[in-house]
């Protein structure tokens, strides 16, 4: 049976919820994030702020330079989770096959749904309408025969839009796609592809499977398939948590290695507390330390270990710090977890017959 996948993506979720609840914010550039004087980072922003170049993951200080009249809101995660659950409940009325990706997007499989004569397009439209009427925010949706195409399509008519890729339109739709639209193709991979004359999926199709595997390893097979619109991945109802971690961004840069090491006891205490709150007992298979330097360059160091202690984290922190030898703005510590145990469900986000 031909799959019918909908990728639903919230339009600037956190900002949308704040604008819904506070009319004063609806006509000005706003962002959700930490304060500039505490090394805050932007989580998301509305479309007016984006016109000034403000983007998620940008430092709040830099965002304010780009848009001096930007209103920065601290945010309320409890409220956002509650809103997300409201939207999830709407999805569940159409299918139970839902794969959350984050708080603001998810895949839903409506292949066997009997709602609206089984039309994925009509279901997506009705979901969008109900979310707007019942929850008060907008979502964008992509409808396609597989997850790759649905995710790309959901971004086509943002915000508050829908785009449908029919099975007989797949080839034409994929041909003109920039390779940057392929999940997993970041700046470095895109640059590597450009060096061999590949900028679109049509260019990619000119390369043989052997060439791509030789140049990109296992990812080469995925590039080969996706450039042809082939994606056999099912929508997964739940996932296994592979790691658990905590991190701190410090108000003032940590000037030297000793200052960084002094933070480990607090970080490890928080990590162990989070680990004990896991719903299932999961064996630890390794430890990892992340360091982000004052210039935003970051590095990670990890080690396989079954019974970790602070000495393991201390050595990894030393290794990571020595790669930069400059002031540090963020330190993170984490455990790698074994695959055993039950799947860990993720919090569902707002989402967006052929």
| CATH number of the domain bearing residue 258 | 3.30.1490.100
Same domain, yes or no, for 141 and 189? no
42 token code pair: 């932007």
Chain centroid to CA 284: 24
**Tally of domains within the chain:** 4
- Catalytic annotation, pick one of 105, 126, 211, 232: 105
Q: Catalytic: 270?
A: no
If asked whether residues 84 and 27 sit together in one domain, one would say no
Instruction: Output the domain CATH number for residue 208.
Output: 1.10.150.20
Would 327 be classed as within a structural domain?
A: yes
Residue after which a domain boundary falls, among 76, 106, 121: 76
Which pTM value belongs to this model? 0.71
- For residue 134, the domain's CATH number is 3.30.70.270
Q: Is residue 104 a known part of a binding site? A: yes
In a domain, 113, yes or no: yes
pLDDT tens series, the chain, 354 aa:
799 999 999 999 999 999 999 999 999 999 999 887 777 889 899 999 999 999 988 999 999 999 999 999 988 888 898 899 889 888 988 998 999 988 889 999 999 888 999 999 999 999 999 999 999 999 999 999 999 999 999 999 999 999 999 999 999 999 989 999 998 898 889 999 999 999 999 999 999 999 999 999 989 999 999 999 999 999 998 666 788 888 888 889 999 999 999 999 999 988 988 888 775 678 899 999 999 998 888 899 999 988 888 999 999 999 999 999 999 999 999 999 987 544 433 333 333 334
Please indicate, yes or no, if residue 342 is contained in any of the structural domains.
Answer: no
Residues of the domain holding 36: 14-76
8 A C-beta contact, residue 337 and residue 241: yes
Same domain, 66 and 85: no
Q: Let me know whether 252 and 326 are in one domain.
A: yes
Copy the structure tokens of residue 345.
């469900």
256 annotated to a ligand binding site: no
Q: Assess if residue 213 is contained within a domain.
A: yes
Q: In degrees rounded to 5, what are phi and psi of residue 139?
A: -130, 155
């Amino acid at each position: 049976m031909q799959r019918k996948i909908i990728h639903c993506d919230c339009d600037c979720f956190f900002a949308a919820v704040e604008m819904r609840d506070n009319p004063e914010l609806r006509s000005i550039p706003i962002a959700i994030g930490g304060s500039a004087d505490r090394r805050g980072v932007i989580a998301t922003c509305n479309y007016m702020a984006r016109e000034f170049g403000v983007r998620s993951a940008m430092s709040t200080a830099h965002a304010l330079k780009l848009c001096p009249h930007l209103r920065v809101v601290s945010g309320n995660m409890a409220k956002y989770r509650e809103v997300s659950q409201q939207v999830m409940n709407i999805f569940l009325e159409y299918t139970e096959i839902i794969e959350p990706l984050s708080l603001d997007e998810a895949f839903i499989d409506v292949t066997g749904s009997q709602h609206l004569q089984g039309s994925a397009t009509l279901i997506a439209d009705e979901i969008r309408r109900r979310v707007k009427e019942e929850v008060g925010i907008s979502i964008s949706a992509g409808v396609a025969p597989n997850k790759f195409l649905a995710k790309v399509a959901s971004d086509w008519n943002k915000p508050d839009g829908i785009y449908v890729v029919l099975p007989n339109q797949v080839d034409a739709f994929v041909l003109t796609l920039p390779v940057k639209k392929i999940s997993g193709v970041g700046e470095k991979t895109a640059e590597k592809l450009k060096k061999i004359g590949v900028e679109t999926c049509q260019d990619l199709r000119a390369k043989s499977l052997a060439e791509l595997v030789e140049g990109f390893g296992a990812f080469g097979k995925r590039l080969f398939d996706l450039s042809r619109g082939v994606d056999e991945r099912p929508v997964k109802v739940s996932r296994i948590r592979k790691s658990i971690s905590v991190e701190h961004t410090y108000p003032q840069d940590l000037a030297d290695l000793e200052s960084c090491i002094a933070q480990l006891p607090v970080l490890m205490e928080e990590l162990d507390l989070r680990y004990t709150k896991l719903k299932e007992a999961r064996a630890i298979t390794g430890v990892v330390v992340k360091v982000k330097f004052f210039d935003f360059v970051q590095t990670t160091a990890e080690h396989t270990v079954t019974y970790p202690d602070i000495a393991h984290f201390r050595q990894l922190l030393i290794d990571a710090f020595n790669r930069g030898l400059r002031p540090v703005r963020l330190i993170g510590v984490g455990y790698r977890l074994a695959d055993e145990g039950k799947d860990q469900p993720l919090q569902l986000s707002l989402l967006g017959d052929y």
